Structure 1
Amino acid sequence: MLSNFRFLRRLMPKSTISTAALYSKPTQLDTQITTIKLKFNKQNNVDKHVEFCEKFGITFSDKNLIHQVCTHKSVRSNTAPTNERLDFLGQKVISLYAAEYLFNQVKPSELHDRVYLYTKRSENIGKIGVKMGLNKLLHWTPINESQVIEAERNGQSLQSLGEESVTGRALQALVGAIYHDQGAFAAKQFVHKHILSAPIDIR
């Protein structure tokens, strides 16, 4: 067996790459470079959330809360918490402060519809979130029209998702997270400064 191997090596041209070079283990430098790249990518993702919170003066006692805010229920995971409950809470909080804000500004007959514009009209709350840059932090799985049609054929209900709609959900979840973690006063300040002061489509 060994003699056959030596015979084959004599037949190989000198420029042929050695088997040792082909099957050599990564060097210590290669390992260090790979590790640095992984750390950089992970740190870069974290920095986006940190920068967003710093930009808008948001401080959470739990640093993972901002990741939950940005994780939509369309992400299929058994471990990552989604923003569904925070979204529900945030919608109610925005409705409360919007009603307070508009109470003396519009007719009683118009109050419900005007509050509705801030919470139920996804294009309004979504546009505010996009303008803030929240859409760049989202973790979600888009649902296209073909999936909706297929679901309807099977007797199921499925809504198509767009970035603006998911961003609106995330913004409501952000308000819910601020209310839950920092209290009513912090949530009210955020809602007035970034949502109620923003121009919306009232048509």
Structure 2
Amino acid sequence: MQALEEKLGYTFRDPALLDNALTHSSYANENRAAGAQSNERLEFLGDSILGMVTADYLYRTHPDLPEGDLTRTRAALVCEESLVEVAQAWGLGQFLKLGRGENAGGGRTRPSIQADAVEAVLAAVFLDGGIAPARQIIQTYILDAEAERGRNRDYKTALQELVQRESGQVLRYCLVGSSGPDHAKVFAVEVELNGNTVGRGQGHSKKEAEQNAARAAIAALEGKGK
């Protein structure tokens, strides 16, 4: 378990919590007489912790996003695909305790099992050391990673590609305000689609504000398409 703790950047005071977090129900069912318990209860708790930390982060770092966009962004961050990426970064599959059948059937690489185990591990960290280390792990492996992807993404181009799926679509970026002193000015931009505002963003440059407006528009338009 030491290798996993090194990945987490956290050492358990109660190693039994981590052991429980890695115990799949198939293993627990086969070893019930020995007192094995599945990680399902920890998964339940970890899901709430992950959602709360992510919601807090989005609320504080994206003051321009309305409730609907915040909800969609949080859902994207805590989805199974995102958690599987975390599991792979931890090498979590090798540490899982699976029943014989689940192990033979490729359970160590099954996305649902890996994602659930990530949530269980987060809960185990929370129970062992409190919210601070759990928050730090979420920040490092989910929130910072997403922010880095965001910095590398051209949201204006992505929005243009999205709306061009239908012909005759017209995008327009409008500077609607600015505030603050010259050395720290904040610009506000709205992006319109066919004359209707579909996104709003702020930034310390017009370019940054336009990128944030495009990001908000993508979230809004993709949400309507679901």
TM-score scaled by length of structure 1: 0.60
Give how far 1:52 is off: 1.3
Summarize the Cα distance change of 1:183–1:112 in structure 2 as closer, same or farther, 3 Å threshold: same
Structure 2 unaligned runs (5+)?
151-218
Q: Which has the larger radius of gyration?
A: 1
Counterpart of 1:59?
11
Counterpart of 1:193?
140
Q: Do residues 129 (structure 1) and 76 (structure 2) align?
A: no
Counterpart of 1:170?
117
Counterpart CA distance in 1 for 2:12 and 2:109 is: 28
Counterpart CA distance in 2 for 1:62 and 1:143 is: 26
Counterpart of 1:114?
73
Contact kept, 8 Å, 2:50 with 2:119, in 1: the verdict is yes
Map of 1:1-203 to 2, 5 A cutoff? 49-75=1-27, 76=29, 77-78=31-32, 79-103=35-59, 104-105=61-62, 106-119=65-78, 121-141=79-99, 142=102, 163-199=110-146
Percent identity reads 26
More strand by share: 2
Give how far 1:161 is off: 9.4
Counterpart CA distance in 1 for 2:103 and 2:81 is: 17
Summarize the Cα distance change of 1:97–1:74 in structure 2 as closer, same or farther, 3 Å threshold: same
Counterpart of 2:161?
none
Contact kept, 8 Å, 2:22 with 2:117, in 1: the verdict is yes
Give how far 1:64 is off: 2.0
Contact kept, 8 Å, 1:128 with 1:198, in 2: the verdict is no
